[in-house]
């Protein structure tokens, strides 16, 4: 048996968890569309008894994702939100969580509207300064949850600095790594205890299925999250596990192209006279460019830019032809959106102002199309503004 964890990333995405099927030699992991398994006698089976508790296609994906993030286990769920919900089941009434103030809106909605009903308390801080995390600590603090870079302004948190604060106080740290994927950023290497992803995005990469994962580093994560899968049932279906397994095989090549295109789009926009500001960690003008170079091995393809007014933003979004106006991110196709009325509508005008999300801000998840077609499309759409 080869230890894939010792191999390079581009090898791991193809082989870890995805070895040829021992029964037939099939080079792709079979999709085990079964709810139950024939048993040999009472208490004797082949390691599986019911698909909520375990399924070989799911096992393959979980092995793969643990290997990619450098964790010891991983558990997949029906969506990113189902994974975050599973994370919160680690907590009890009276526990306290410190959370980045600009994490995905669905995360704060779940925390505020559901988890608080069970007596879990949340404090939201700007985690780009680890001292804010230290100041928010309470004796009851059990978890610090962050996203880096944040959506859509691409603000970074120094994972190592926050992990140090957490470990001094025996608090667990979870990182939503959806924006970077393990190709560019591996939070466990900087001290994070748990990594979370919406696999819906770059890991799947083809915008054809939802999913979520929690990658753990301790035996108790393995025990807890497999128990949560069995008890609450929010698991990822075998077919969708297969879609992620298939997507992951090209993660390395896709991310390289996303990054190359992302840099070119950011540079193009930064020079454009109709663009006020570009938020992209790969630009030298990004205030945390040095941290980005240290913590990430690439800058990815998420960026936001300001076109001064909501009217300009609407003109631009109506005019794009190669880019698709829509929510979500991380697919091979370029998706463009308006945070103030789409992803961050529920954040409210006051909080958007505090975070710096202006009404003229446009977000792009740069895809892997031909770069000249993308730049040409943006050029003509910027030209349509104010028309």
Ligand X SMILES: Cc1ncc(COP(=O)(O)O)c(C=O)c1O
147 binds ligand X (CB under 6 A): yes
How far is the C-alpha of 238 from the C-alpha of 359, rounded, in Å? 41
Q: Which residue is nearest to ligand X (CB)?
A: 80
Shorter beta-carbon distance to ligand X: residue 158 or 176: 176
Shorter beta-carbon distance to ligand X: residue 106 or 326: 106
Residue from the set 64, 68, 71, 104 that interacts with ligand X by CB under 6 A: 104
User: What does R_g of the chain's alpha carbons equal in angstroms?
Assistant: 21
Question: Could you say which residues in the range 343-382 bind ligand X, by CB under 6 A?
Answer: none
Shorter beta-carbon distance to ligand X: residue 79 or 334: 79
Going from the C-alpha of 96 to that of each of 91, 103, 111, the distances in angstroms are: 8, 17, 11
298 binds ligand X (CB under 6 A): no
Shorter beta-carbon distance to ligand X: residue 290 or 327: 327
Nearest Cα neighbor of 276 from 385, 191, 125 is: 385
Residue from the set 162, 210, 269, 303 that interacts with ligand X by CB under 6 A: 210
Q: Where are the beta strands (DSSP E) in 240-383?
A: 277-279, 302-306, 324-325, 335-337, 361-365
How far is the C-alpha of 134 from the C-alpha of 126, rounded, in Å? 11
How far is the C-alpha of 7 from the C-alpha of 14, rounded, in Å? 11
Least Å distance between CB 199 and ligand X? 7
DSSP letter string, 51-72? TTT--HHHHHHHHHHHHHHT-S
Least Å distance between CB 104 and ligand X? 4
How far is the C-alpha of 77 from the C-alpha of 377, rounded, in Å? 37
Annotated catalytic, 104? yes
198 binds ligand X (CB under 6 A): yes
106 binds ligand X (CB under 6 A): yes
How far is the C-alpha of 363 from the C-alpha of 338, rounded, in Å? 6
Question: Could you say which residues in the range 169-188 bind ligand X, by CB under 6 A?
Answer: 176, 178
Q: Which token pair is 360?
A: 């003229």
Question: Could you say which residues in the range 151-170 bind ligand X, by CB under 6 A?
Answer: 151
Shorter beta-carbon distance to ligand X: residue 147 or 172: 147
The phi, psi pair for 373, rounded to 5°, reads -65, -40
203 binds ligand X (CB under 6 A): no
Question: Could you say which residues in the range 29-88 bind ligand X, by CB under 6 A?
Answer: 79-81
Which position has the token pair 């230290």?
Answer: 134
238 binds ligand X (CB under 6 A): no
SS3 73: strand
Residue from the set 212, 216, 262, 300 that interacts with ligand X by CB under 6 A: 212
240 binds ligand X (CB under 6 A): no
Active-site residue, from 12, 58, 201, 249: 201
247 binds ligand X (CB under 6 A): no
Do the Cβ atoms of 147 and 168 come closer than 8 Å?
no
Annotated catalytic, 176? yes
Number of residues that bind ligand X (CB under 6 A): 13
Name the strands in the sheet holding 121-125, side by side, starting at the edge strand that comes first in the sequence.
73-77, 212-216, 194-198, 172-176, 141-147, 96-100, 121-125
Active-site residue, from 21, 49, 52, 160: 52
Residue 79: CA atoms inside 13 Å, Cβ hemisphere, count?
A: 8
Please report, as ranges, the residues that interact with ligand X according to CB under 6 A. Answer: 79-81, 104, 106, 147, 151, 176, 178, 198, 200, 210, 212
Active site residues: 52, 104, 176, 201
């Amino acid at each position: 048996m080869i230890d894939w964890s010792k191999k390079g990333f581009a090898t791991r995405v193809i082989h870890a968890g995805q070895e040829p099927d021992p029964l037939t030699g099939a080079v792709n992991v079979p999709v085990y569309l079964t709810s139950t398994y024939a048993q040999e006698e009472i208490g004797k089976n082949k390691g599986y008894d019911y698909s909520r508790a375990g399924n070989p296609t799911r096992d393959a994906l979980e092995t793969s994702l643990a290997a990619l993030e450098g964790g010891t286990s991983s558990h997949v769920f029906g969506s990113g939100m189902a994974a975050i919900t599973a994370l919160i089941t680690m907590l009890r009434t009276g526990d306290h969580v410190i959370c980045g103030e600009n994490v995905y809106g669905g995360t704060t909605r779940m925390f505020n509207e559901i988890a608080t009903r069970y007596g879990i308390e949340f404090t939201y801080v700007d985690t780009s300064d680890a001292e804010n995390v230290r100041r928010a600590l309470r004796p009851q603090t059990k978890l610090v949850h962050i996203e880096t870079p944040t959506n859509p302004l691409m603000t970074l948190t120094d994972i190592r600095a926050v992990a140090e604060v957490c470990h001094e106080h025996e608090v667990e740290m979870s990182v939503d790594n959806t924006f970077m994927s393990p190709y560019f950023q591996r939070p466990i290497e900087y001290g994070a205890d748990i990594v979370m992803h919406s696999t819906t995005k770059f890991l799947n990469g083809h915008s054809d299925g939802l999913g979520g994962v929690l990658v753990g580093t301790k035996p108790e994560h393995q025990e807890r999250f497999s128990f949560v899968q069995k008890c609450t049932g929010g698991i990822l279906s075998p077919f969708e596990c297969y879609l992620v397994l298939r997507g992951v095989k090209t993660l390395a090549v896709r991310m390289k192209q996303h990054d190359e295109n992302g840099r070119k789009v950011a540079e193009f926009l930064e020079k454009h006279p109709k663009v006020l500001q570009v938020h992209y960690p790969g630009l030298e003008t990004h205030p945390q460019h040095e941290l980005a170079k240290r913590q990430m091995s690439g800058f990815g393809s998420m960026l936001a830019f300001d076109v001064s007014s909501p009217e300009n933003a609407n003109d631009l979004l109506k005019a794009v032809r190669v880019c698709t106006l829509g929510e979500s991110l991380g697919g091979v196709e370029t998706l463009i959106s308006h945070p103030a009325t789409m992803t961050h509508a529920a954040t409210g005008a006051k909080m958007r102002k505090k975070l710096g999300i202006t009404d003229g801000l446009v977000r792009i998840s740069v895809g892997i199309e031909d770069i000249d077609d993308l730049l040409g499309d943006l050029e003509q759409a910027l030209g349509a503004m104010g028309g």
